Structure 1
Amino acid sequence: MAGGSAARGLQALDVSGAADKINLIPQDFFAELCEQIIQHLNHKIPGVNTAELCQRIQTSGIEINVDDLAKIANIVSFLFSTAARNNLSTEELITTLGSAVSVLPKHAVQVIRHVWNEEGKSIGVSEDARDMATVGQFVDIKWKLGVAMSSDSCRSLKYPYVTMTIKVANPSGQITDRSFEMTIPQFKNFFRQFKEMAAVLETV
């Protein structure tokens, strides 16, 4: 049965183990997390920015780390996507949670119920979308030019370099940053390859 498969999956994700962490998150932040997950499942945003949300929660004085928040996001995302695939109503979704309802904080169950009741029907989970969600999705890129001023291993200092930061949403919807540095010759080669890609795209 649909509810049974979702419940078994939730047990594998250890909802009870995450309940204490969910209890730390104020209702408004948990609601925002759920909203972002729904938007991601609807392909309106590329992913859930757990790092940014975690920083804001920490700024409010709550001690939670980004790994714990990512785990919670994965659990809720699994719950919503499974419910969408099985066309569960709000009550069926809460029933599917089963014993998890007793360990989850009341405010979390209320948020899940409200968000699913308001927006659950809008989620369309097609086979094509699931097949496409096996690689990361590019979100943003930033760069800056710097000059090396000190180094233990380099004799010639004051050489310029480019720092690139690429924001990527992984297949589970978590947004992560990847940074790397390039020398000017490496950057020129990088730029040349992008020009070649652009030229090829012009012919498509």
Structure 2
Amino acid sequence: MPAAEETHGVNKAVDNICKLSPDVLADACQHVLNHLQGQTQGVDSADISDRFQRAGVALDHEALQNVIRFLLLTFRSAGKSNLSADDLVSRLGEGGTRWPKASLQVLHGLWSEQGALVHTQQEVQTILSISQLVDMQWKLGMAVSSDTCRSLNSPYVTLLLKIVEPSGQICQRSFEMTIPQFQNFHKQFKEMAAAMETV
């Protein structure tokens, strides 16, 4: 997305946030903060949309998603940087948009109460960040020549793993195993799958 288009999207999200009453804004922020504190699996945009409609706020789906993304990014970034409520409000004011005083008071109050919890959760997530396996391929081969291997004509299995790292980057790892090692690997993989189904 070009920078000008991205800036326009952010400005529109902020404009929509600034139009919200303090109560409606506080409710939307609380949904986001609950997620960032690990209390919910995600932010339920359908629930927020229903609450907006009951309050008389008319936002289309894309505009609502942009508001939620902005709040998530703002609070997540503030949590990672361990910003105080004053620093958060100050940074929002530097964004070039004229925030209504009532909106800034809502954000200040919520962040004063819950910012430390978000910061703690962000630190825990950073520590516990692990890579995610997204693809695994294997092939069977036969060693026919080697400088280091004594037993040639032995079958082996090459595994190619595609992994998404916590940073979001996709990387590939490959390694070779003997047939008995691969069979043991397969057995352990089945045991892990069975254990995950019981969770």
TM-score scaled by length of structure 1: 0.54
Note the residue ranges of structure 1 that are not aligned, 5 or more in a row.
Answer: 1-10, 136-195
User: How many residue pairs end up in the alignment?
Assistant: 134
Matched-pair contact (CA < 8 Å) for 1:27–1:108? yes
Distance apart, 1:102 and its partner CA: 4.2
Question: How many angstroms apart in 2 are the aligned matches of 1:31 and 1:120?
Answer: 14
Corresponding residue number in structure 1 for 2:88: 93
C-alpha distance in 2, partners of 1:109/1:203?
Answer: 46
Q: Where do residues 19-30 of structure 1 align in structure 2 (5 Å cutoff)?
A: 19-30=14-25
Tell me if the contact between 2:24 and 2:55 (Cα under 8 Å) persists in the aligned partners. Answer: no
State the match for 1:17 in structure 2.
Answer: 12
Distance in 2, Cα, partners of 1:203 & 1:26: 45
Q: What corresponds to 2:63 in structure 1?
A: 68
The one-character-per-residue Cα deviations of 1:115-160 (angstroms, maximum 9, x if unpaired) are: 1011101112131455579x9xxxxxxxxxxxxxxxxxxxxxxxxx
Aligned in 2, Cα 1:31/1:101: closer, same or farther, shift over 3 Å?
farther
Verify: 1:200 aligned to 2:182, yes or no: no
Partner amino acid, structure 1, of 2:115: G
Q: Is the 8 A contact 1:84 1:121 kept in 2?
A: yes
Residues 13-162 of structure 1 correspond to what in structure 2 (within 5 A)? 14-100=9-95, 102-123=97-118, 124=120, 125-126=122-123, 127-128=126-127, 131=130
The structure number with the bigger radius of gyration is: 2
Per-residue CA deviation, residues 3-43 of structure 1 (Å, 9 max, x unaligned), is: xxxxxxxx858442223312332221210111111110111
Pairwise CA distance, 1:52:
1.8
Deviation by residue 1:157-195 (Cα, 9 ceiling, x = unmatched): xxxxxxxxxxxxxxxxxxxxxxxxxxxxxxxxxxxxxxx
Could you tell me how far apart the structure 2 residues matched to 1:132 and 1:106 are? 42
**Larger relative contact order (CA 8 Å, sep ≥ 6):** 1
Please, what TM-score do these two structures have when normalized by structure 2? 0.56
Counterpart of 2:100, as a letter, is: P
Structure 2: unaligned runs, 5 residues or longer? 1-5, 135-189
Cα distance in 2 for residues equivalent to 1:203 and 1:93: 42
The residue aligned with 1:173 is none
Percent identity for Structure 1 against Structure 2: 27
1:16 counterpart letter in structure 2: N
RMSD: 3.4
Q: Distance in 2 between matches of 1:97 and 1:75?
A: 11
